[in-house]
């Protein structure tokens, strides 16, 4: 039997990472998870405990990737493809700590790309973000729109995209960047004030606690279920589509106020809604144009917001 193709998932113990690992394991890949466990959890990968096709290596993406992978590639052969998800994920945190954001998000991407160049990796798929666009005047926002990020996070994701393009163009490393909109679903950790809004709102609404809306709640987001995002990642991991950038969203938007009311209703209506001042560095409106996701990658988001919220609450 030929050896299983090895896929490295950086940030593989995290929210999107662990769902990606599930799909890759289910489809017969050898998977190596690199994670520093700052926010990732071993419990997210518990269903694969003892499976010889999965290796979990504690590794900080800002320095250790070559050393972490050397013993494994000696045993199992070269890394074929990389999904690079390890990141500092909070826009608000990046505003307060721009150097940390740059080191982890841009620096980490450079380490991954250097590894890919040195080891002739066949594809690097990178988790970029809708934050690269900044405040746009026309929605849905298409990939060709001029990027004017309004946070260090958006700047670092955009710089990483440029690095991907450079490595593809100059060093022949095939790369695809996926601009995630607001990803939600099971395993998104609600414990930090920087956590995704749906994880916070569902956690609090389930407990009957008040929900805090930053600003007047009219800001909108395109919330895409994690299962649909993983389908985009897996499609992008294949050959082709190098130097491509694609939005990963649903093409729909909902205001944060309406989202809060929907979640409270789904949870039995006990929570009240409170308001706090708007957060710095935030965009106001967000909705993805998804033609490229559909046409180039063959992926259309299938999970409605309410179905995704029910799956998250379950
Ligand atoms: C999300 C991603 C980010 C990036 C971006 C792309 C997370 C944690 N961050 O940033 O990585 O990809 O999308 O656009 O997934 N809010 C409240 N109350 C709360 C928490 C949040 O009103 O308790 C509001 C917040 O002010 C914002 C919206 O909900 O307007 C979404 O906030 P978020 O932190 O979930 O995500 P965002 O869009 O800042």
How much distance in Å is there from the Cα of 232 to the middle of ligand 1? 21
Distance CA 140, CA 5 (A): 37
Question: What is the β-pairing status of strands 54-58 and 30-35?
Answer: parallel
Q: Low-confidence residues of the chain, pLDDT below 70?
A: 1-3
- Enumerate the active-site residues: 153
Distance CA 225, CA 222 (A): 10
Residue 90: which residues within 8 A CB-CB, separation 6 or more?
A: 153, 192, 194
Residue 99: which residues within 8 A CB-CB, separation 6 or more?
A: none
CB of 264 within 6 A of ligand 1: the answer is no
CB of 288 within 6 A of ligand 1: the answer is no
CB of 204 within 6 A of ligand 1: the answer is no
Domain that holds residue 59: 6-184+223-250+284-302
- For the CA of 211, the closest atom of ligand 1 is 23
Q: What is the pLDDT of residue 3?
A: 64
Question: What is the β-pairing status of strands 220-221 and 254-255?
Answer: antiparallel
CB of 214 within 6 A of ligand 1: the answer is yes
Q: What is the pLDDT of residue 313?
A: 95
294, two tokens: 């559909």
pLDDT tens-digit series, residues 176-221: 999 999 999 999 999 988 899 999 999 999 999 999 999 999 999 9
> In this structure, is residue 272 part of a structural domain?
no
Are 177 and 132 a contacting pair, CB within 8 Å? no
Of the candidates 300, 90, 111, the one whose C-alpha atom is nearest the C-alpha of residue 197 is 90
> In this structure, is residue 76 part of a structural domain?
yes
How much is the pTM?
A: 0.97
Are 7 and 84 a contacting pair, CB within 8 Å? no
| Number of domains within the chain | 1
Q: What is the pLDDT of residue 242?
A: 96
Substitution candidate for ligand 1 out of 215, 221, 262, 281 with most atoms within 8 A of CB: 221
> In this structure, is residue 195 part of a structural domain?
no
Of the candidates 46, 53, 44, 51, the one whose C-alpha atom is nearest the C-alpha of residue 19 is 44
> In this structure, is residue 260 part of a structural domain?
no
Are 244 and 176 a contacting pair, CB within 8 Å? yes
Distance CA 162, CA 155 (A): 11
Distance CA 72, CA 77 (A): 8
Q: What is the pLDDT of residue 2?
A: 58
CB of 133 within 6 A of ligand 1: the answer is no
Q: Is 2 left (phi over 0), alpha (psi -120 to 50) or beta?
A: beta
30-35 sheet: strands from edge to edge: 54-58, 30-35, 6-10, 79-84, 123-129, 175-180, 244-248
Burial class of residue 206, CB neighbours in 10 A (0-12, 13-18, 19+): middle
Q: What is the pLDDT of residue 35?
A: 98
> In this structure, is residue 314 part of a structural domain?
no
Distance CA 104, CA 86 (A): 8
How much distance in Å is there from the Cα of 181 to the middle of ligand 1? 10
Helix, strand, coil: what percent of the chain each, to 5?
40, 20, 40
> In this structure, is residue 266 part of a structural domain?
no
Name the CA dihedral angle for 116, 120, 125, 127, rounded to a multiple of 10 degrees.
10
> In this structure, is residue 295 part of a structural domain?
yes
Q: Spell out a b/e string for 76-101, using b for 16 or more CB atoms within 10 Å of the CB, else e.
A: beebbbbbbbbbbbbbbbbbeeeeeb
Q: What is the pLDDT of residue 73?
A: 95
CATH of the domain at 19: 3.40.50.720
Q: What is the pLDDT of residue 135?
A: 87
CB of 128 within 6 A of ligand 1: the answer is no
pLDDT tens-digit series, residues 20-32: 999 999 999 999 9
Substitution candidate for ligand 1 out of 15, 89, 91, 200 with most atoms within 8 A of CB: 91
97, two tokens: 């700590």
Residue 235: which residues within 8 A CB-CB, separation 6 or more?
A: 297, 298, 299
How much distance in Å is there from the Cα of 196 to the middle of ligand 1? 5
> In this structure, is residue 200 part of a structural domain?
no
């Amino acid at each position: 039997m030929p050896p299983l193709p090895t896929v490295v998932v950086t940030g593989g113990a995290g929210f999107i990472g662990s769902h990606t690992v599930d799909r890759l394991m289910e489809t017969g890949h050898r998977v190596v998870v690199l994670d520093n466990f700052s926010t990732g959890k071993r419990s997210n990968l518990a269903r694969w405990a003892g499976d010889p096709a999965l290796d979990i290596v504690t590794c900080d993406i800002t320095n250790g990737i070559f050393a972490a992978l050397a013993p494994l590639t000696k045993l199992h052969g070269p890394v074929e493809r990389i999904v690079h998800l390890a990141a500092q994920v909070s826009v608000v945190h990046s505003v307060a700590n721009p150097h940390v954001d740059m080191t982890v998000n841009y620096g980490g991407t450079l380490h991954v790309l250097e590894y890919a160049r040195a080891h002739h990796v066949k594809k690097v798929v990178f988790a970029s973000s809708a934050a690269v666009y900044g405040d746009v005047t026309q929605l849905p926002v298409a990939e060709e729109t001029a990027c004017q990020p309004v946070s260090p996070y958006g700047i670092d994701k955009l710089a990483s995209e440029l690095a991907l393009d450079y490595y593809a163009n100059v060093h022949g490393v095939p790369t695809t960047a996926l601009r995630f909109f607001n990803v939600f679903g099971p395993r998104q950790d609600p414990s930090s004030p920087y956590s995704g809004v749906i994880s916070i709102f569902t956690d609090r609404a389930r407990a009957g606690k008040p929900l805090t809306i930053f600003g007047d709640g009219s800001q909108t987001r395109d919330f895409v279920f994690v299962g649909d995002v993983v389908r985009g990642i897996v499609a992008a991991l294949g050959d082709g589509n190098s130097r491509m950038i694609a939005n990963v969203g649903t093409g729909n938007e909902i205001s944060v106020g309406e989202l809060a009311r929907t979640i409270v209703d789904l949870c039995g209506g006990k929570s009240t809604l409170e308001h706090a001042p708007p957060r710095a560095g935030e965009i106001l409106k967000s909705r993805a144009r998804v033609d490229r996701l559909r046409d180039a990658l063959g992926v259309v988001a299938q999970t409605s917001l309410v179905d995704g919220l029910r799956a998250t609450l379950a």
